[in-house]
Structure 1
Amino acid sequence: MDKYLNIIAFNIPWPANYGGVIDVYYKLMVLHNCGVKIILHCFEYERPRAKELEHVCEKVYYYKRRTGILSNITLLPYNVYSRKDPALLTNLLKNDYPILFEGLHSCYYINNPLLKNRMKIFRECNIEHDYYYHLYKSEHQLIKKCFFLIEAWRFKTYQMVISNADLIISVSTTDANYLQKEFSGNHIEFIPCFHANEQITARPGKSDFILYHGKLSVVENERAALYLIHNVFCKLSNPCILAGMNPSQKLLAAAAIYPNITIEANPSDERMDFLIHEAQINMLITFQDTGLKLKLLNSLFAGRHTVVNRLMLAGSGLDSLCCIADTPEEMIHACNNLMNVPLDESAIIQRRKLLEPFFSNKYQGSRLYKMIYEE
């Protein structure tokens, strides 16, 4: 008997070129490969419609986000209320299949009484009130700062709607522990990010440059990039590259001062893949311990050495595969040491033992399939 699934995505998950949509897209792929017929509902936001999604979905519905000031005049989070569309509810009621809500942003209808008897799965991608509070602390523009603080408060209040889910899937054990305390009566499982890596592709040997990569327009990533420029990269003699989408003028100006620091804006998928594979060190830091850490998985599957702070590892179980450095002095010391250490086959074998079983899309897709259709 055919298995069907409604998936509500907060954005159009193609191209799969930043954290949240990468998890959504490769989840679509693996569920499709498991034989699930997917009805995808996605909100249009700064990305064009994608014919590529039709290859893995039975049907794709698109909905316009209601952005602007009026969508902010609500006690609900702006990022939830702006994804309110009666057409979405109408389309969900055309069938009785399970519904997967991708992130709290997509949950406007999760507590709708018309969906009371439907199986509902919630995919957590951040503890949103923590995430927005960290954005508030990182932001310097007053209006944005106020918005992030208000949004953090609204998400803190709103998150109780998660209790309507029959199954809650977290992206880290840290987040799973938090959700277990908040929703002790719910079924909660940890499934790490779905991603582009089918196997370990890290290359033995060494190179001469250090890489930081991420969506540079995100305040949290910009903060990390600026921290590395001012406290670590400027004190190294090796070339340092920061690569990602839409860097701000502030970030470009900060890097321009130093001859060994380069920013690569909006690299192609091929170029980003080359950089991650060829860098001697993938340097990754964060200032919050929740949510998707997809760049960590990408670096461990495809890169050579990975230097991280402890917050980047929180709840991942991947500590043994990384060099941990929490202060600028520790990061500088780690980089200077590792620049002369080739990645060898034994390190790649160690990664394969830990990453390829539990962190493979196929394994986690099979687990998710069983949770939805066999439990």
Structure 2
Amino acid sequence: MKCLCYATIICTKSDFGISSKILFKLKKNVHVWGNFMEKVHLIAFNVPYPADYGGVIDIFYKLKALKNAGVEVILHCFEYGRERSEVLNDYCSKVYYYARRSGSSYLIDTYPYIVSTRVSSELTTHLKKDNHPVLFEGLHTTACINDILSPQRKLVVRTHNVEHDYYRGLMEAENNLPRKLFFYSEAVKLKRYEKILSKTTGIAAISHADYIYFNEKFNNVNYVPAFHPNNKVDILIGHGEYALFHGNLSVPENQRAALHLIENVFKKLDYPFIIAGKQPGNEIYKAACINNHIKVVADPDEKEMNTLIRHAQMNILMTFQATGIKLKLLASLFGGRHCIVNPTIVDNTGLASLCQVAHNDAEFISLVEQNAKIDFVEDAVQKRIDLLENEMSNVKNAEKLLKMLF
């Protein structure tokens, strides 16, 4: 057996083969050669490239971290609205695609819609061909758990939210009555369906708050922070000329936050404010266009978004939902200057000390006015390095995940 010195390998004989467990003292690059590489199935709720919104960002950079750790990933993707990607072949030994179903018949299924539309006999057949561990991305992908249960097999679910809370929040943010009713129905079904997690060997919660929730209900719950594109803190010191709010603007929660900031904060200021993200709706354009200092940047690519974050004087972050972790918070802290946030976005994240927290609109206005005049300095950069490059390290979090899988 050959291996680089970055990893310690413990092997035990099993018939003719060797079952190896990799105890990772992970460095930047770890590779295991020969027939001893561990394999894992990863089931993604969508095609995780391009990595351009929260859920798929976590999945894509998890794939990269597992590859660097010497693990062979067999990727299974449900596809809808996103093209297949050759890029995924660089990080996975095999990539399988399955069509996500749709239609009104799934709305009356006893399973939640996000689960019933991802039922695939083909996926189950593939998983039954071996006994490798399975990492399920979200409750969305767990329909086949009962079909592949085995005392010898590790089944770990990466929870991206407390899903019924997330859908309840979507319901509260939605004005369209049919969609509001759908979100309500989905929240009820998801709460009932959640007990499927008791059949797994582990839950990898994406946030402190989610860890607390799941740990009270299930066994073998671990906090594994979000995987993300940032290997190190890289911030421009000095001064910028605008405030930035960014996110997926097709999501009702983000629409609500953007509109709230326009109407209740930046409409009362004359400081330049940019709203950037995917698919901004007419309501956002309408609210922004009557204010000359407010600009909307629609559908920026990754490079443009990173440039906007880096050059902003301040990143403004607001959410009305406490579930999961907002990857835009990590992007802002790793690459942006001052971060002004509401409490909900940093509660139970361990990251509040790196932000300035506004508890109401008046405090947002005051903090924008104050920070417009303050340079971002080296000491503030170092404070972020000390926390983020330790707690939010992809390498260290891959180690946590692999201890659950092997």
2:119 to 84, 90, 96: 84
CA contact (8 A) 2:325 2:345 kept: no
Mapped partners of 1:224, 1:116: distance in 2: 46
Q: What is the 5 A alignment of 1:158-307?
A: 158-183=193-218, 186-307=219-340
SS state at 1:151 partner: helix
Shift in Å, 1:367: 2.2
| Matched residue, 1:348 | 381
- C-alpha spacing 1:96/1:331, structure 2 compared with 1 (3 Å): same
Counterpart CA distance in 1 for 2:74 and 2:383 is 39
1:309 aligns with 2:356: no
SS of corresponding position for 1:40 = strand
Instruction: Note the alpha carbon deviations across 1:59-86, whole angstroms, 9 max, x for none.
Output: 0000001111112121110010000110
Distance 1:340 1:231, change over 3 A: same
Query: In structure 1, what is the Cα distance between the partners aligned to 2:227 and 2:342?
Result: 22
Shift of 1:117: 4.4
Maintained 8 Å contact 1:290/1:314: no
Distance in 2 separating the partners of 1:104 and 1:113: 16
69-78 or 274-283, larger mean C-alpha shift? 69-78
| Counterpart position of 2:71 | 36
Root mean square deviation of aligned Cα: 1.0
When the two structures are aligned, how many residues end up with a matched partner? 371
1:180, distance to aligned residue in structure 2 (A): 1.0
Q: Secondary structure at the match of 2:82?
A: coil
Matched, 1:367 2:400: yes
What SS is found at the alignment partner of 1:111?
helix
Letter in 2 for 1:365: A
Secondary structure class of the residue paired with 2:190: helix
Q: Secondary structure at the match of 1:182?
A: coil
Q: CA deviation at 1:371?
A: 2.9
1:317-356 superposed matches below 5 A: 317-356=350-389
CA contact (8 A) 2:156 2:404 kept: no
Whole-Å Cα distance in 2 between the matches of residues 216 and 91 of structure 1?
36
| TM-score, structure 2 as length reference | 0.90
Corresponding residue for residue 126 of structure 1 = 161
Determine the structure 2 residue equivalent to 1:56. Answer: 91
Q: Is the 8 A contact 2:137 2:157 kept in 1?
A: yes
Letter in 2 for 1:246: Q
Measured against aligned partners, the alpha-carbon deviations of 1:316-357 in whole angstroms (never above 9, x if no partner) come to 101110000021100000000001111000000111111101
Please state how far the C-alpha of 1:41 moved relative to its aligned partner: 0.3
Post-superposition offset of 1:289: 1.0
1:226-246 residue CA offsets vs partner (Å, 9 max, x unmatched): 111111111121110000001
Q: CA deviation at 1:167?
A: 1.1
TM-score under structure 1 normalisation? 0.97
**How far apart are the structure 2 equivalents of 1:65 and 1:116?**
29
Are the counterparts in 2 of residues 276 and 303 from structure 1 also a CA contact under 8 Å? yes
Partner of 1:112: 147
Determine the structure 1 residue equivalent to 2:42: 7
- Shift, 1:254, TM fit: 1.4
Residue 34 to residue 113, structure 1, CA distance change in 2 (3 Å): closer
- Structure 2: gaps of 5 or more residues: 1-35
* Shift, 1:111, TM fit: 2.6
Q: What displacement does 1:370 show?
A: 2.7
Rg (Cα) greater in structure: 2
Runs of at least 5 residues in structure 1 that lack an aligned partner in the other structure: none
CA contact (8 A) 1:20 1:292 kept: no
